[in-house]
Each structure stands twice: as structure tokens, then as C-alpha cells.
Amino acid sequence: MLGAPGAGKGTQAKKLADKYNIPHISTGDIFRANIKNGTELGKKAQVYMDQGLLVPDELVVDLVVDRFKDADCKDGYVLDGFPRTIPQAEALDEALSKSGERIEYAIDVNVADEVIIDRMSGRRACLNCGATYHVVNIPPKKEGICDTCGKSLVLREDDKPETVKKRLAVYHEQTQPLIDYYINKGILKSVDGTKTMDETFHEIVQVIEM
């Protein structure tokens, strides 16, 4: 699943995983599981993370490919937020080809930057219980107050327009080239992420089941 921060790719990845009964795999989850379980790969990743460094591509790919060996991946999986760069994509393709596998679809949830900025700046979060809202799409019953616990809602630093613009700039620089990479491989499918969540999901399912 490809898409800018706030495009909704994570939500769509989870819906796909549920529909086809396959795992939704994100590198964050893999890192946490390996570190928690004290695996060799987890220990290596922890060294970099403790120093505030990015985990090298080679190690990230090793962690992801190791996850594919689990029994729940036998019928497939949805990758969310990985690969992020061309070197990661190339290393993943190489690792998969060794076991006779390949990425079947790269699905880009396409949303214009200005729409994402509007979307994310409308988000509100409860720092007490973790509930999230949107001033237009999922408003709380009482403005600025969490329905669940009654505490005040805030606009997180990550969702402020200036922060979102910076995150989008990084995305376009690092991850956007993946779009061209998968176009050249003939497996990129782009869907309209400005539609409702269900409409976008229906479009993704149509792509897969064509």
C-alpha cells in the first residue's frame, strides 16, 4: 500500500487484511514484536533505534522477509508503509525472488496535498484515552470534548498544517519515486483516496479481483 501521510492507506490495508483473512504487516509492528521477543534481528534493530538512527535497509528487509515465514502469511499479506525507498523495494524484490515470490500489486491511495492538509488539520485527539475525532467527518458530541472520557481534545503537533507540509515534502522526495518504480514493473494501480472510505475500498477490491 502506497500513499502520502493522511491518505488513508493504513485504514485500507487493515480492511483488505480483514476481507481476505491475511495479515496486515507494518514495519513498526515487526520491530516491536522482534524487540519484545528478543530475537537476533530485534537486538540488531534496537542498537540503531537506541541511538536515534534509522535502521539500515538491509536489516529492515531481513526483518520483513523473516515475518513472511510465519504460517499466517501462507495465503498472502498486505504490506503497509514498506518499502519506503527504491533501495528497500529492490532489496525486497530480490529477497522474494529467491523463494519464488513477488509483489502482485502496488496500490497507491492518491490524494492531493491540499486535501491531506485539510484532513489532518481537522483531526482532534484525546491525550487521556487515545480516542480520535475529526471536526467535520467524525465530530465529538460536544465541541472540543472527548465523548468517551470527557477530557479536552487537542490538535496534535503531527497534525498541524506546517508539520503536515514537512511530512509531505519528505514523502514526495523519498517515497514518490516508488510510484515510478512500480509503474515500470507494470503492477502499480492508483485509486482515488478522496472518495469515502468504503468507496475507495470498493475500488481497491475491484483492482484485485479483476
- Interval 147-174: pLDDT, tens: 999 999 999 988 899 999 998 998 888 8
Q: What is the pLDDT of residue 175?
A: 82
Q: What is the pLDDT of residue 171?
A: 87
Q: Which of 106-110, 135-139, 190-194 has the lowest mean pLDDT?
A: 135-139
Q: What is the pLDDT of residue 16?
A: 95
Quote the number of domains for the chain.
1
The answer to the question of residue 76 being in a domain is yes
CATH code of the domain in which 48 resides: 3.40.50.300
Q: How confident is the model over 118-132, as pLDDT tens digits?
A: 989 999 999 999 898
Q: How far apart are the first and last CA of the chain?
A: 18
Domain span holding position 71:
9-111+170-202
Instruction: Name the nearest CA neighbour of 83 among 138, 25, 17, 153.
Output: 25
Q: Name the band, by pLDDT with cuts 50, 70 and 90, for residue 204.
A: very high
Q: Name the band, by pLDDT with cuts 50, 70 and 90, for residue 142.
A: very high
The answer to the question of residue 209 being in a domain is no
Report the catalytic residues. Answer: 9, 84, 123, 156, 167
Q: What is the pLDDT of residue 124?
A: 94
Site of grid cell 502520502: 4
| For the chain, percent of residues with pLDDT exceeding 70 | 100
What are the cell numbers at 31? 520491530
50 by DSSP, 3-state: which? Answer: helix
Q: Above 80 in pLDDT, residue 78? A: yes
Angstrom distance (rounded) from CA 114 to CA 192: 15
Q: What is the pLDDT of residue 152?
A: 96
The answer to the question of residue 140 being in a domain is no
**β-strands 132-134, 123-126 pairing:** antiparallel
Query: At 153, phi and psi to the nearest 5?
Result: -95, 150
Q: Above 80 in pLDDT, residue 54? A: no
Q: Above 90 in pLDDT, residue 51? A: no
The answer to the question of residue 97 being in a domain is yes
Q: What is the pLDDT of residue 56?
A: 86
Q: What is the mean pLDDT of the chain?
A: 91
The answer to the question of residue 43 being in a domain is yes
